[in-house]
Amino acid sequence: QVQLVESGGGLVQAGGSLRLSCAASGRTLSTSGMGWFRQAPGKEREFVAAISGTERTTKYTDSVKERFTISRDNVKNTVYLQMNSLKPEDTAVYYCAADVNRKFTVTTTTAEYDYWGQGTQVTVSS
C-alpha cells in the first residue's frame, strides 16, 4: 500500500510563498504520475498541478499558472509544489495524489488517481 504524506502548509500573507512536500512510501513512484489538488470548505476538490513520471511533463490549472511549480525528486520519492505570489483564493487543504500506472502523460481527473494523502492546510491572509 502506498502512503502519501503532505507537509509544508501554513499561514502566509498574500503575495508570500510556501513549498509543499509530498513524501511517498510503500513503493517507488518514480514512474508514476503525481498530482496536487485542493479543496476549500464547502467546495469540491479541484485540480492544481500534475507531473508525469518519465519526462516530468507538467500541467497546471489556469488560476495557478506562472505562480506555482510542481517538481519531483525521484531519489527521495518526493513531489513538491512551490507556490509563489499566493492569493487568498488559494486558501484550501492541499492534497497530494499518485497515479501509479500513468507513466508518460498527466491527468487532471481525480478519479484517475489511486492514492491520496491526508492533506495540508494552506491559509493565505489578506
- Written as nine digits, the cell of 11 is 499561514
Within a 10 A sphere around the Cβ of 7, how many other Cβ atoms? 14
Residue 62, classed as helix, strand or coil, is helix
User: One digit per residue, pLDDT tens: the chain, 126 residues?
Assistant: 899 999 999 999 999 999 999 999 998 888 899 999 999 999 999 999 999 988 899 999 999 999 999 999 989 999 999 999 999 999 999 999 999 987 788 889 999 999 999 999 999 999
Describe the strand order of the beta sheet including 78-83 as a list of residue ranges: 3-7, 18-25, 78-83, 68-73
Distance CA 116, CA 87 (A): 25
Distance CA 26, CA 83 (A): 27
CB of 78 closer than 8 Å to CB of 24: yes
